[in-house]
Structure formats: structure tokens, C-alpha cells
Amino acid sequence: MIRIAAVGDVHLGEDAHGRLRPALERLPQHADVLLLAGDLTRHGTEEEARVVAAEFRDLGVPVLAVLGNHDYHCDEVSALTQILTDAGIQVLEGDGVVLPVGGLRLGVAGVKGFGGGFAGKCGSNFGEPEMKAFVGHTIEIADKLRSALDSLSCDTRVALMHYAPVPQTLHGEPPEIYPFLGAYQLGEAVDATGTDLALHGHAHMGSERGVTPGGVRVRNVAQPVIRSAFTVYGLEAGTGED
């Protein structure tokens, strides 16, 4: 059994020093790895990134992360990523990593993701350059996720992203904003690669549980949804159980 702790949308600001740390101190008793599903900061500043780094460093388990839209806001992504990396937090964007866990190989691939909507209610790569650029960006990111997942040689495969790959975990959000919360192309990447579990954040008013058209379990780990410092999912190798 691989124990995966996850949380997203912690939105830490400069006034948040130590907010999560007490709950994280005993993390190794509960989980083998911690996955962070983006929106780690409020505005994506270097100062906020240092708070995130202090909160999630030296926890006794590997910490992997993707960034979210808030983390991109101030256009300091490179600096933010370096600060997290220096703290031992591996930031994924179109790549993946394989970790040894209790004699098994856990593969995690991650991207931020992007919007566009879901089958029958989505944008298309057609028309004005602005619309083609919007949907084209989603397609590009989904292709990176698919390649990263497919490249992993592992027993259990997890997709980590910020935007949602299915609409079910958005239930509770206004339907009008679904296209800005996720995209079906991300779900297609998950289904095409033998993935066992997909984790995302972004939808603060959404629901925790969903499933891709191919039957892969999807979990929304945004902190306003899970209402805790993290939640834990247990996976048997190749079964997708949690």
C-alpha cells in the first residue's frame, strides 16, 4: 500500500508563517509522499514562496508540487520554482519522477493544466487567434502530461495538476465558470496512460470525488474542499483503490 498525502490551494501569504507546519510535523506517520496541487501562494511572489518553502521543507517524506494560476500571477515563476527546489520540493511541469516506496515504484507526473471546458460544453481550436491560442495552450499542456505519464516506468502512476480533468469534481461551482476550471483534454491524457489516480485543486467550491470516462479516480484536494492540512489516499499497485 502506497500512502499519498495531498493538498492544494493553501494560498500562503507573508502572514502565514507556521500555519500548516504543526499538522505536517507527523506526516511520515501517515504518508509516504506529499503532493501539492498548485496555488501554493496568494500572488506568486518570491516572499510568499519563501513562506511555502519553510512550511513544506524537511518533512521526512518526498514533496512534489505543481504550480497554479495564483503562483503565476506576478510572473516570477522561475524564481518561485528555484526557491521551492532549494527547499527540497520538486516542482513538476510536463515531467515526472519515480519514487521507491515500500518495494514499489510510485510514478508521479505533473502539469499546471489549463481551462477550456468539457465534452459538449468547451472551447474549440477554431476561429479568432485569441481563441485558438487559449485552447491550443490547453492541448499543449495536456500533451505534455500524456507524454510525462507515459514515460514513467512504475507500479503505480499518479497524475498531479492544478486544473480539473473532469467536471464531476467541479460540482458546487457555478456552471458558467467550468471552462475556466479545467479541460477534458487533461482527462484524456490520464485515460490514455494507465494512470491509477489523478489529483487536482483550483475548485474551492467543488466536490472531492470524480472519475474519468475511462474509469480513473479523480480527487479534488483543494484545501477548502478537504478542510484539513492534507488528506491521504492509499493505493494498491495498479488497482487505483483509495
Structure-block grid coordinates of residue 219: 480527487
Task: Give the integer Cα–Cα distance in Å for 219 and 135.
Answer: 24
Is the predicted pLDDT of residue 239 greater than 80, yes or no?
no
Going from N- to C-terminal start, the domains of the chain cover: 2-235
Least confident span in 120-124, 139-143, 161-165: 120-124
Helical ranges in the chain per DSSP H: 21-24, 46-56, 69-72, 77-86, 129-151, 184-191, 223-226
CATH T-level fold of 2-235 = Purple Acid Phosphatase; chain A, domain 2 (3.60.21)
Asked whether 68 and 37 are in contact (CB, 8 A), the reply is: yes
The pLDDT score that the predictor gives to residue 183 is 98
Residues 129-149 have a mean pLDDT of: 97
The pLDDT score that the predictor gives to residue 98 is 98
Is the predicted pLDDT of residue 51 greater than 80, yes or no?
yes
174 CB-near residues (< 8 Å, 6+ apart):
none
